[in-house]
Amino acid sequence: MRGLASSYPGYRYRMASDETNSTVLVAFLANVGIAIAKFVGFMLTSSSAMLAESVHSLADTVNELLLMVGQRQARKKPDALHQFGHGRSRYFYSFVVALMLFTMGSVFAIREGYNKIRHPQPLTSPMVAIAILVVAALLEGYSLHNARKGSARLKGTSTWWEFIRRSRIPEPLVVLLEDSAALLGLGLALAGVTATALTRNPLWDGLGTLGIGALLGGIAVILIVETHSLLIGEGATGKECATIRTALEQDEHVDSVTDLRTQYLAPDELLVTARVVFGPRTAMATAADVIRDTEARVREAVPAVRAIYIQPDSA
């Protein structure tokens, strides 16, 4: 039964969707707990790095909610105004998440770090902050491990950077970068608080906060660039295009395929258009049969193909 299910064209994409939902939910639950703990730590220590990390975790929590809203919106049925459905809602909300990470995370942290350096204040109970940061790192590590595990099947043999640049599914990409930034940010906060506790110089706390802001800004820019590209429409990967072209040219009546164009309408919905050149003696009835068979063959080869339009042409 499992073998039959896994051979069904949409099976792999449903599995990816299930893993994506699980990844976002785990990240949301982890960030709720982490944000509360960090805010408590800030109230007890007055550390600007703790405050920056608290706002960072709050922003991440809101971001996971936005990703879940995007997934819910994408499931709406097509209507007269959106005849290809609402799948790009996932791209839109992922873009909003990138902007949130930049404004709520990076800008706030840089401002707090600047204020801390200009108006230094001593830390109170630094050991409490260190303990909370260590626990938060463990939770973020688990969330990152879950995100990497959920993305591994989608990544395949590509490197993680190639996966970030080429993935057409935004949620694993967003969670992966968020959690990576969170772990690195916790490391900077821990370094700043520890150095301040050892030297009794609050400058290190401010510098750690500035580092967090710069880190979040860099991650946000990467996310903005990638999600913007997805939002305006990306085509199939080179491997997918080659597979589609092979499927189109497989029939003996097809001489060549010209003007092949593709675009992802949603992470699991690919639009394909192509001009197929038939031999001069191919009858119209034969061409119609070939087109129907070809469409089925393309969908079997690339399950993400939902809409395919083939224009017959003669040599």
Q: Residues 95-109: pLDDT tens digits?
A: 998 888 777 788 888
Rg (CA), the chain: 25
Q: What separation, in Å, do the N-terminal and C-terminal C-alpha atoms of the chain show?
A: 46
Position 315 confidence tier, pLDDT thresholds 50, 70, 90 = low
**What average pLDDT does range 201-211 have in this prediction?**
89
Q: For residues 89 and 103, what is the distance between their CA atoms, to the nearest angstrom?
A: 21
Q: For domain 238-314, say whether CATH 3.40.50.880 is its number.
A: no
* pLDDT above 50 (res 5): no
- pLDDT tens readout for residues 160-198: 888 888 888 888 888 888 888 888 988 998 998 899 889
Q: What is the mean pLDDT of residues 146-156?
A: 80
Residue 154 has pLDDT above 80, yes or no: no
- pLDDT at 83 exceeding the cut of 50: yes
Q: What is the pLDDT of residue 12?
A: 43
Check if the beta carbon of residue 178 is closer than 8 Å to that of residue 27: yes
φ/ψ of 295, rounded to 5, equals -60, -45
Q: What is the pLDDT of residue 13?
A: 46
Res. 232: pLDDT tops 50? yes
- 2-232 is a CATH 3.90.1150.10 domain: no
Q: Is residue 22 over pLDDT 90?
A: no
Alpha-carbon span 121 to 85, nearest angstrom: 54
264-275: pLDDT as tens digits: 998 889 999 999
How far apart CA 13 and CA 235 sit, in angstroms, is: 17
Mean pLDDT estimate for the chain: 83
Q: What residues does 274 pair with on adjacent strands?
A: 310
The predicted pLDDT at position 100 comes to: 82
* Predicted local confidence at residue 160, as pLDDT: 84
Domain residue spans in the chain?
2-232, 238-314
∠ Cα 174 176 178 (to 5°): 65
Averaged over 151-162, what is the pLDDT? 81
Q: How many CA atoms lie within 13 A of 29 on its CB side?
A: 8
Residue 305's nearest CA partner among 252, 243, 254 is 243
Identify residue 248 by its one-letter amino acid code: L
Tell me the pTM: 0.76
pLDDT at 143 over 70: yes
Average pLDDT over residues 285-312: 89
- 233-237: long-range contacts (C-beta < 8 A, 24 or more apart)? 233/263, 233/264, 234/168, 234/263, 234/264, 235/261, 235/262, 235/263, 235/264, 236/262, 236/264, 236/270, 236/272, 236/302, 236/304, 237/166, 237/168
Looking at mean pLDDT, say which of 6-15, 147-156, 217-226 comes out highest.
Answer: 217-226
The Cα 136–Cα 315 span in angstroms is 65
Same CATH topology for 2-232 and 238-314: the answer is no
